[in-house]
A and B are shown apart, each in its own frame.
Chain A
Amino acid sequence: MVKPNFKFCFALLPTLFFLGSSFTVFGQSETSEKKEVKESTIQALMAYYHQDGNHSAVTGGTGTEFLEVYSTSINYYHTVDTNKTYSVHVGADIISSASTDRIDYEMSSASREDLRSSVGLGYSQTLQGNDVTLGGQLMFSLESDYASIGTEIYIAKVAKNQLSDWSFYFSAFFDDLRWGRLQPPYIVEAIGLIYPSELRYKEWFDIHNRYSYNFSFSYSRDLNKRMNLSFYPLFTYQQGLLSTPFHRVYFENQLEAKVENLPREKYASALGIQWNAFVTKRIILRTFYQAYLDNFGMTSQTAKLDVPIKLSPKFTLMPFIRYTHQVGTRYFKPYMEHNISDTYYTSDFDLSSFWSNSIGITTLITRRTEKSARWQIQRWSLRYAYYQRSDGLKSHMLSVFLDLGKKVQLPKMY
């Protein structure tokens, strides 16, 4: 075994230093041309959501599901030297919900309003000649009846021949379902789980946390000059309070309701496949299919088709259609159809059997020039989507997306 010769290494240090400084002097004109590139991006998404239906889970699977959400989220990315990226996320949703107004059966003049806020901090670094990216993110979100801390780590790799890439993500969310953080006097400590007003005579659950662990993988491959194919397997494990404590369930031949109850563990898996193709010089097909199943007995299949049409190099029109068929959980029954002897029960129609479809259109405008030292709009999009479910739920979504960027090149100081 060869022992490292430290004396020799120390002797070499001044020589290397001298050589390095010599190169700096002789190569001054070259090194001063080296640039430190700083690239910044702000992405803002503003959206409006309106929904109505007649199967609210708060009132046991019957009653209004009216809901309005004004949502804003902003992501800031700062990339230094093209391989280190810092990111900050802030978001806020203002929610007007008629159904959650029925928790107390004391109708306010306006529907109950809630605020959901979220923040996130992330960092990623590209290694090995830009082939491998490592990253992570910390997230926090807060509602009046919910607080969530999340973390995510990922690794992504691009093949040497650039034909394929894969990534692996692991994320964990630690949720607290207690209510009261956003209610006066705005104390940090939550008060407790909130039950429907007439069911507060006892504590229905002795836990208030929900833990979610997600493992997701993606593999993409270019099939030829115009097509690529991607696979997205996903596995999730959830543990804790998986039911919502202010959802009522009514039983046959019983007047009194109970609080929704679901098993304390859930395993779910999904496999998504995406095939994208430039079918003509101006038309792209983006197709997506997914199959899902979990241990609550729910299965679903989803198919989606986007057809971007490039009307000009800058302007794209993209109609889309999406269809889902869901087989509901074995624990679901509608209003007053559960048996009182059931162990687990829900009347939440989100977990029922149904088909749903969604149609809409997106316009995308893209700037075709390089980023400059000033903030400029790089892309903006406008999207409208209509969604309907076979149980009568209907919704409208309107979204606006803005992407601003700037790029600064500074001489590197040596």
Chain B
Amino acid sequence: MKITFFIALVTIIFCSSCTTVKPYQRAYLNDELMKPGTLDIEGLDQTVYQYREGALISGDRKGKGGCGCN
């Protein structure tokens, strides 16, 4: 965990000096597959990972209740 938070801290500092991207330069960034988060088709995968592994998944909100006890 310490390593993770160290990486996060370094990255935040790194990000503070990022390049400015002008609106007409956003062709790659606006691509649907560049959007952060999970893809719509990964819905069942995320549910299975949450049930078959003890960890919660950050960046993916629990969309519905259910015990996953099967």
Contact = CB atoms under 8 A, between A and B. Distances in A.
B44 A397 contact: yes
A292 B56 contact: yes
B63 A290 contact: no
Given A97-B70, A271-B4, A278-B34, A351 B43 contact: no
Nearest to A233: B58
A222 B43 contact: no
A200 interface: no
A71 B31 CA distance: 29
A146 B61 contact: no
6 contacts: A118-B65, A173-B62, A221-B15, A228-B36, A231-B12, A246-B69
Interface of B: 1, 4-5, 7-8, 11-12, 15, 18-21, 23, 25-26, 28-29, 31-37, 39-45, 48-49, 51-59, 61-67, 69-70
A401 B40 contact: yes
Nearest to B11: A229
Contact of B36 (A220, A246, A366): A220
A402 to B, nearest CB: 10
A150 B62 CA distance: 9
B53 A45 contact: no
Interface stretch (A294-302, A334-342, A404-412): A294-302
A169 B65 CA distance: 17
B20 to A, nearest CB: 7
A271 B58 contact: yes
B58 A351 contact: no
A276 interface: yes
Contacts of A236: 56
B21 A224 contact: yes
Instruction: List 10 A-B pairs, minimum CB-CB distance, nearest first.
Output: A148-B65, A272-B58, A232-B59, A230-B36, A292-B55, A232-B58, A401-B41, A47-B44, A234-B58, A118-B64
Given A225-B25, A234-B56, A273-B7, 10 more contacts: A45-B40, A51-B52, A141-B65, A162-B23, A212-B62, A274-B37, A284-B31, A292-B58, A397-B45, A401-B43
A302 B60 CA distance: 14
Contacts of B11: 229, 231, 273
A222 B39 CA distance: 19
Contacts of A376: none
Interface stretch (A3-11, A29-37, A125-133, A324-332): A324-332
Interface string A335-379: 000000000000000110000101000101010000000000000
B29 A228 contact: yes
Given A120-B64, A171-B62, A218-B59, A276 B19 contact: no
B41 A276 contact: no
Interface string A69-108: 1010100000000000000010100010101100000000
Tell me the interface secondary structure of chain A in the complex.
strand
A397 to B, nearest CB: 6
Contacts of B32: 366
B66 A141 contact: yes
Contacts of A38: none
B1 A399 contact: no
Given A71-B44, A221-B15, A284 B34 contact: yes
A171 to B, nearest CB: 6
Contacts of A67: 70
Given A230-B36, A291-B1, A224 B31 contact: no
A58 to B, nearest CB: 8
Given A161-B20, A387-B48, A326 B58 contact: no
Nearest to A48: B44
A268 interface: yes
A214 interface: yes
A308 B3 CA distance: 29
A52 interface: no
B40 A244 contact: no
Contact of A216 (B20, B25, B58, B69): B58
Contact of B41 (A51, A223, A383, A387): A383
Nearest to A112: B70
A395 interface: yes
Nearest to A360: B45
